[in-house]
């Protein structure tokens, strides 16, 4: 299986770090090879330039940036969505990982 790179973007990159840990555990439990990382919205462009990203998920607190990211990601063919607010609030790594997997299909 090819390793997948999942990028989470939030305001400061802090609140999603716990979610990254839970998503990584869910991926490991499934035997999925994944690199999951979080960054702030101000670091997003730099990460997109320097890394091969398979899917980008926005934290609910930056959902207003979705249109802007769609324009930037369309030429690269990178799927994008906003993380479900209840999954984010509950830090449900399994559900958010599933959301990312659905986008990569």
pLDDT digits (tens, 9 = 90+) for 36-54: 999 999 999 999 999 999 9
- pLDDT > 90? residue 7: yes
Q: Which of 8-12, 45-49, 71-75 has the lowest mean pLDDT?
A: 8-12
Is the Cβ–Cβ distance between 40 and 89 less than 8 Å? Answer: no
The residue annotated as part of the active site, out of 10, 62, 96, 100, is 10
- Per domain, the residue ranges of the chain are 4-104
Tell me the CATH architecture of domain 4-104. Answer: 3-Layer(aba) Sandwich (3.40)
The average confidence (pLDDT) of the chain is: 94
State yes or no: is 39 an active-site residue.
no
């Amino acid at each position: 299986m090819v390793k997948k790179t999942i990028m989470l973007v939030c305001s400061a990159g802090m609140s999603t770090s716990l979610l990254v840990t839970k998503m990584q555990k869910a991926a490991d439990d499934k035997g999925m090879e994944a690199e999951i990382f979080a960054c702030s919205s101000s670091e997003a462009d730099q990460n997109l330039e320097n890394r091969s990203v398979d899917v980008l998920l926005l934290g609910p607190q930056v959902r207003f940036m979705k249109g802007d990211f769609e324009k930037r990601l369309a030429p690269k063919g990178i799927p994008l969505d906003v993380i479900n607010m209840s999954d984010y609030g509950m830090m449900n790594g399994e559900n958010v990982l599933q959301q990312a997997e659905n986008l990569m299909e």
